Chain A
């Protein structure tokens, strides 16, 4: 197990601490190790981008340190920058260049030469599927393609650490889907690639975390409020192990009351009713006390009472619910 990124008490003030400055990042510490795909989560303005900018050496921290592959970002910026592939927010690229010239430039800066350079560019182009637009100026490309050009630039030199700041932000649903597939594929290949590497991506889109990440770090107001796996993250939800039902009870039966009688049921949420040919369908979510597994007990009760079940689903938890709870609760 190798530590790829280590943040120690990383702090960033914009402006002076004594005269109305803003503490954008507040003593953040964590490590990213071999094979991890870390989802860096938080609401807008929580300090995600600022943290990434400090790790990639664009901004200098006010205090604390960031280390990448054993090199301190402030002391050895070039050594760090060589090992990182970085997609900044909005995937900036030189607008009047073609992707071909742009990748050529990046490869040269990365010190790639001759056949190795050609191979690296070809591989990055193939992986991001931008072969068809290589000769068009970047400014004429759609947002989705611009993002891919940015991704190609970031993976060009097969970096030990791949850092992406909001890689799908501002794309339409189709582009989002494509870029997400690409990231998943890349992250997987990347994290498992030669000897294992590490990927960090920031986002405020929760499906992305579920789809791609092996670990979640959630920050709010510059501080870490959660650091766990996506599954653990979801289990913090009050909907963890909740059972959502749609059923048609005989008239006059108070099904909510019956359900609440199960000992490990916390409460029942009414999701409304629906008129069907068979009668009035009642929909509800049965919430488990402390996230206990209640599916068995609920189904047992339903069977015993002989209610007609149209749908029954066990909830894993709702990410946005946990997200909201953790990022808006008082300090």
Chain B
């Protein structure tokens, strides 16, 4: 992992020297607010939990995370800095991990900045703060999954637009895999094992239980292994497709 630290720091600082970070964070916070309080009926539900807040995260991430991940490698390819980075004494694993971790840390910052919602719910009632904590952890893991998919796709192209659209589509498929109309449709004809397999890849199903505060190691392992697999593919793509 030679060079992980400098790559991580450079990448993270890169978000904040351009308006990207600020635009992203502001939009993320505005949208979480709208979703939680308007669409999620936070007050009308009369319950002191953050379901209304977490339930919309998958859909929010669907469009916001690809906007973060699209530039990871596509930009390096376009400007030729990929050649520079790959000829500096940085191992490939360190470059892949450093960039991913920086993007992940950045979304983590955006997520932490939603803390007023947590303050609100604690002011209004007595929520299960343990469940909320794991909800945040789950949300962060899911963001990591989206990001890893996005990083992998960004490594395949020079165009950030293509990276964005493809990432949205792929992430949408991962979300839909557990959407009830889709599972109902599949159950009509596909054998149960296929339905189960497809459903097990669903971000929605996995995240739903985490958002409820149910901690299942399998969900955590799912997201963690998804990240590892995507980053591994990311490295392979970089090695095989250089010019």
Are both chains from one complex?
yes
**Nearest B-chain residue to A95, judged by Cβ:** B79
A106 within 8 A of B: yes
A88 and B87 in contact (CB under 8 A), knowing A94-B81, A96-B18, A109-B3?
yes
Q: Does B83 contact A (CB under 8 A)?
A: yes
Residue B192 lies at the interface, judged by CB distance under 8 Å to chain A: no
Question: Quick check: which of A56-64, A126-134, A313-321 contacts chain B, the rest being far away?
Answer: A56-64
Cβ-based interface call for B64 (8 A): no
A108 touches B5 (CB 8 A): yes
CA distance A108 to B4 in the complex (A): 10
B89 with A92: CB separation less than 8 A: no
A303 sits at the interface (CB 8 A): no
Q: Are A105 and B18 in contact (CB under 8 A)?
A: no
Name which of A77-85, A202-210, A243-251, A288-296 contacts chain B: A77-85
Do the beta carbons of A108 and B6 come within 8 Å of each other?
A: yes
B residues in contact with A109, CB < 8 Å: 3, 6-7, 88-90
A81 to B92, CA, bound (A): 12
Contact A105 B6 (CB under 8 A): yes
Query: Size range of the interface on B?
Result: 20 to 34
Q: How far is the CA of A59 from the CA of B241 in the complex (A)?
A: 10
Q: Which of B17, B84, B89 contacts A110 (CB 8 A)?
A: B89
Q: Which residues of chain B are within 8 angstroms of A94 by Cβ–Cβ distance?
A: 10, 14, 79, 81
Nearest chain A residue, comparing its CB with the CB of B91: A78
Q: Judging by beta carbons under 8 Å apart, are A57 and B87 in contact? A: yes
Contacts of A43 in B (CB 8 A): none
Rounded to whole Å, the gap between the CB of A271 and the closest CB of chain B is 44
CB-based contact A96/B17 at 8 Å: yes
**Beta-carbon contacts of B61-82 to A below 8 Å, as 1s and 0s?**
0000000000000000001110
- The residues of A that contact B5 with a CB separation of less than 8 Å are 108
Could you give, for residues 1-30 of chain B, a 1 whenever the CB lies within 8 Å of some chain A CB and a 0 otherwise? 011011101100110011000000000000
Q: How far is the CB of B238 from chain A (nearest CB, A)?
A: 11
Which of B's residues lie within 8 Å of A, judged by CB?
A: 2-3, 5-7, 9-10, 13-14, 17-18, 79-81, 83-84, 86-91, 242-243
Known: A14-B243, A92-B81, A96-B18. 11 other contacts (CB 8 A): A56-B87, A82-B89, A92-B83, A92-B84, A94-B10, A94-B79, A97-B17, A108-B6, A109-B6, A109-B88, A109-B90
Query: Which are the 6 A-B pairs with shortest beta-carbon distances?
Result: A92-B80, A108-B6, A81-B89, A56-B87, A88-B83, A92-B81
List 5 interface pairs A-B (beta carbons < 8 Å), by A numbering. A81-B88, A81-B90, A96-B18, A109-B7, A153-B84
